[in-house]
Amino acid sequence: MVDEDHSAIAPAVWAGAVAQYCILASWVGIPAELGQAQEALAVARDLGDPALIARALIACGMLALYDPELSQPYFDEAIDLVRAIGDRRSLCQIFSYQATAAVMRGEPVPAIAAAEQGRELADALGDRFFSRNCRAWLSTALMIQGNLDHAAKVARSVTEEAEAVGDLTMAVFSYVSLSEVLGFHGQADAAHAAAQSALQAATTMGGYFADAVYSVFANAALARGDAAAARKAAETALQQTNPLREVFTRSVAPLPEAWLACGDPSAARRFADEMLAVVPGWYRMMALLARAFIAMAQDEPELAARDAHDALTVAARTKGYLRVDDTLECLARLAINDNNHAYAVRLLGAAEAIRRRMGHPASRCIKPGTTLPSPLSERRWGRAISMPSGRRVLDCPPRRLSGMRNAVSGARCASRHRVARAGSAQCDSVSARRARCATASRAADR
């Protein structure tokens, strides 16, 4: 119906069928033509059918799911329309799709808001499928914010419910989320087991979502310390994706870290650069952090410091605090290499406090065995752990905060520095310091 001449088909029937096909195609991650959904929308507008217009708008938004600037106007118009006609079920579905889109672009705050609205409405309507879908994406958004315990609890509730009713789609989504959460929680074997459950459900339904499944296999392998398995799984994820989902797959498949763990920083750098060229939101923080560790391995401390600072800026903007601790430790290790031990201790103290609150172990990019270099540093470490988490960073003299990059390169501390922001090349150093310090403080105090 979507590929052939539809002149013999009633316009309302054709437009409704095309809209539903496009929504289903987006659900399973297979390509469909946005132009055809837009044609269905034009037909619906000509017919003046509000319900049909809303369905066609949802179809257009779903096909543009990976492009928020394109999808959001469709969803906004659809929300206004279904509210006007009292279509609460469609409103629930739109909130669910908005949560999906927000997670895929690495924006946990709007993702949580949409997921909670959708879940509440789905529960009121008795729509268990969309309640599960909202909770699955809610789990991932909570993880991005560093709320690992709550994220795991939400994901487990969905896996149990999906298994009980035979909902394979939500079983895949929730096991993928659970595996990722457990991997960041340091529970490597449990993360691998959840990935296996996701693969089993995906295979049963025909192999859909294999790119997401193999991405979490890669993360679980990194958590287990199996670099070769992580690289293989991440590469398989990219092979299994399609153009519609490639940006999202690059966002979640840890290829830069896997290659670095395999001892090939050059390949890791190439994948990190490719990732940074396309990924949005909090995923950009992940890419910047990976490239910072790669730059350290390649003896490029200035690039490492710049990327680490930029990663903190992204964390502050998105409120995605997971791995802020690793970013602080990256800066601490750069400071140690520059013999700036007092500053390093404050950063390490803040990182440790964040990890204790989140239950997040040290980055898989950080090799164990680095020790603080003197008895004085050990005493300072003890003081850093015992003082309030925010103070560990905020107590650092401003000249050291503002001059971190120059300290790393051996130059004198500068009073100003650049912080990369979207669409801006310069930022006042005081604002940049406050953003980074506030990020670390908020994450530590969660």
The model's pLDDT over 105-122, given as tens digits with 9 standing for 90+, comes to 999 999 999 999 999 999
pLDDT band at 32 (very low <50, low <70, confident <90, very high): confident
pLDDT band at 407 (very low <50, low <70, confident <90, very high): very low
Closest CA to 257 of 209, 292, 281: 292
- Residues contacting 39, CB < 8 A, separation 6+: 18
HSE-CB for 53 with a 13 A CA cutoff: 16
What average pLDDT does this structure show over 96-102?
A: 94
Q: What is the DSSP letter of 145?
A: T
Domain ranges in the chain with CATH number 1.25.40.10: 254-362
Which has more pLDDT, 6 or 320? 320
b or e along 127-152 (b: 16 or more beta carbons within 10 Å of the residue's beta carbon)? Answer: beebbbbbbbbbbbbbbbbbbbeebb
Whether the pTM exceeds 0.85: the reply is: no
Q: Output the pLDDT for position 66.
A: 78
**C-alpha–C-alpha distance, residues 136 and 169, integer Å:** 11
Render pLDDT for 187-214 as a digit per residue (tens, 0 to 9): 999 999 999 999 999 999 998 899 999 9
Q: What is the DSSP string of 27-87?
A: HHT----HHHHHHHHHHHHHHT-HHHHHHHHHHHHHHTTT-HHHHHHHHHHHHHHHHHTT-
CA 201, 258, 178, 186 dihedral sign is positive
Render pLDDT for 327-377 as a digit per residue (tens, 0 to 9): 999 999 999 999 999 999 999 999 999 999 999 988 766 554 444 444 334
Residue 412 confidence (pLDDT) above 60: no
Mean pLDDT (the chain) is 85
Closest CA to 281 of 105, 72, 100: 105
Q: Output the pLDDT for position 426.
A: 33
Lowest mean pLDDT among 247-251, 363-367, 392-396, 436-440: 392-396
Q: Output the pLDDT for position 68.
A: 79
Q: Which helix (H) or strand (E) holds 208?
A: none
What average pLDDT does this structure show over 60-81?
A: 91
- CATH hierarchy code of domain 254-362: 1.25.40.10
The letter for the amino acid at 409 is: S
What average pLDDT does this structure show over 92-101?
A: 95
What average pLDDT does this structure show over 215-219?
A: 98
Percent of the chain's residues with pLDDT above 90: 72
Please tell me the class of the 147-243 domain. Answer: mainly alpha
Which has more pLDDT, 398 or 39? 39
What average pLDDT does this structure show over 13-22?
A: 94
